[in-house]
Structure formats: C-alpha cells, structure tokens
Structure 1
Amino acid sequence: MERYAEPGTVEWVESGGGPLVAVPETVLPFWTGADGEETESDYDRACEVDGLVGLLPVGDAAALVLGDEPAATAFLPEHSVLVRWIAGHAEEDLLASVPAALATAQWQQETRWKVPGPVVLFDAAWPGTHAAGTDHARLALAPGPYSLRAAQVSPGPETWLVLVELRPLS
C-alpha cells in the first residue's frame, strides 16, 4: 500500500491475513489470540464472525471483530469511524472521500457495544498481552455504550472502503 498523505496523518493497522479485533484494555490479558488452550481459540472465534463486524465476549467485556476481509484499518476520531481500506490508489484521496462516504453509506443493522474505556486494535491472531509489540493502535474511547454500524462504500470509481461507525450513546 502506497502512502501519499503526510506521514503520521493516520495510523493504519494491518493483519497477517485474518480479522482485526478491538479489545478493551481492561481485558487484554484475556484475549488469547491463536494460542488458546481450549479447542477453539479466540482467533478461531473471530474468524467465524459473519459479516463486517461482530462482538465476542472477552472477560467481563466484549471485543469488536472487524470481519469480512483483512484490510488496513485506521480510526478517525473526528468522524468517530474506523475506515477499512479495501481499494484505492492514494491514502490522501481515500481519506478525503470519507465525509461523502459517511453521507451516502447504506448502513447495516445497528449493534450496541458497551465499552469500559480505551481499546486496542490489532491482529486477532496475537494474544492481547503481546498487542503492544505488534502492529496496533490505541483508540481512546470514553467508557459507556456505543452504537456500532458498518457499511461498504465506493465513493469513487476505483475506491472502496468499509466504514464502522462508533457513536457514543448518552
């Protein structure tokens, strides 16, 4: 993936081929990744999520699984949205298309996610205790309930992305 925007504009997180997961920091030690001792690892459970997003129980919280395909993902706090880069030539163009994509998105069914505080976005195959040593991003979410909704959007002829909106509920 080529980058044309200013370095540090956004922080992209990529996986080794499987889903990405956003796990609350309070329960990171409980995410076992592909190393689980049980018959089905947390990574296996994440791979079974059908659709663009899903929630999996982890400790006394839930992790957000970004399903469908392994796409570079960035959090844009000004829009409260995760942007998944499916196709596009330039980062700058893709990021510039986000406001129009948000306005025209046909959202899937809304899901509620109770967040105990900041979450860490990383490759679902890694154990949570190793997330900081991998390709990851910390999302400084305030504690509380969030409305999640996702959409596949094509804001241009050669640009495709998935949007995952995280709206705090009052």
Structure 2
Amino acid sequence: MDWIESGGGPLLVAPASQLAHWTGATDDDAVETTGDYGRACSVEGEIGLVTVGSLDGLVLSGPATTTFLPDERLFVRWEAADSEAGLLTAAKRLVHDAPWDETLTWQVDGPVVLIDSAWPGSAPEPGNHLTIDLAPARYQVRAAFVQDERTWTVLVQLQL
C-alpha cells in the first residue's frame, strides 16, 4: 500500500485537473492562517471542502498517515495500529458498522490526487502523493472514527 503523510497538517484530495491551482503553504503565508494551506487548516471536523481551481478539493483534517482502498472507495487514516495488515483488516471490518457522523457532497471530474496540503499542487512532494482513479461523479462523502481493541482509525468513504 502507498501511504501519504503530512508534515503536521491536513491532507488534500484534489481533482487532478485542478491540482496545479493549489499553492499550499508559501513563505508569505502566516502558517495555518492564510493562503491555500490556511484554508485547509481551517476545516473543522474530519472532512471539509475547499476550492481548488474551478472545483472543490476534499480536506482530510489532521496529520494521520492515509491510504486509499479502491474497492471500498475508502480512505483509511492510521491513528493507532500494531501493523498495516491489522489496520487494513480492521478498517474493512469496521466500515460496515461505522458511526458516520460527518457527511458532505463532493463533485469530481475524474482522477484525484492525495497530497500533503502544505505542498503546491504544481510540484507535489516526490514519493508522497497518490493518484486515485475516480469516475466523474457526485460523491457522498462520510467520515467516522472507529476503533477496536488494537486499532484506532478515521475512515472516509466515497459513495455514489
């Protein structure tokens, strides 16, 4: 699995067609308060939307290392787990009874890219971005914190 990390802030899932419009954090920005990175940091809760070019990007709040399971259309955020295998097994099981407490609607025009929101979209951090092949659609996005005896994770699922 490819896991994407942040330098301490939120992650961004942006339409690939609009990614170059994302400036991330710049030297002129007061970190976490202005610019594109500041807009991502201002999202309250686990998920939110910010404008990226002519579409919206999906913000995954907090610095949790994250991957995407395409068959489940599921972002898995590593909060606490003994192993990758244990986390993924738990996520696939826990998704069925997750207490979805946040939802939003997100329109995409095709593939999206998961990046550290502090990086500019025109030059994502080498080795730390993930292209996700999504069909153009309007997705219902839902998020939940779930846990079992050995795993804590935030799940973010895209539904058609």
Which interval holds the TM-score relative to the shorter structure? over 0.9
Matched, 1:163 2:147: no
Asked if 1:21 corresponds to 2:12, the answer is: yes
Aligned to 1:51: 45
TM-score (norm 1): 0.87
Q: Normalising to structure 2: TM-score of the pair?
A: 0.93
| Amino acid aligned to 1:102 | V
In the alignment, the residues of structure 2 paired with residue 89 and residue 41 of structure 1 have an alpha-carbon distance, to the nearest angstrom, of 37
Q: Which amino acid aligns with 2:47?
A: V
Across the aligned residues of Structure 1 and Structure 2, the Cα RMSD in angstroms comes to 1.5
Partners of 1:36 and 1:42 within 8 A in 2: no
Query: Which residue in the other structure is 2:146 paired with?
Result: 153
Amino acid of the structure 2 residue aligned with 1:95: L
1:122 paired with 2:120, answer no
Q: CA deviation at 1:38?
A: 7.6
**Which residue does the alignment assign to 2:86?**
93
How many residues align? The count is 157
Structure in which a larger fraction of residues adopt helix: 1
How high is the sequence identity, in percent, across the aligned residues? Answer: 45
Question: Structure 1: how far apart are the matches of 2:134 and 2:109?
Answer: 9
- Name the residue aligned to 1:76: 69
- Return the offset for 1:133: 2.6
TM-fit CA distance, 1:104:
1.7
Instruction: Give the CA deviation at 1:99.
Output: 2.3
Cα contact 2:115–2:129 (8 A) shared by 1: yes
Give a deviation string over 1:90-134, Cα, whole Å, max 9, x none: 111111112221112000232110001101101000000011635
Q: Judge which range, 38-47 or 21-30, deviates more.
A: 38-47
Conservation of the 8 A alpha-carbon contact between 1:24 and 1:119: yes
Q: Which moved more, 1:54-63 or 1:127-136?
A: 127-136
Unpaired runs of 5+ in structure 1? 1-9
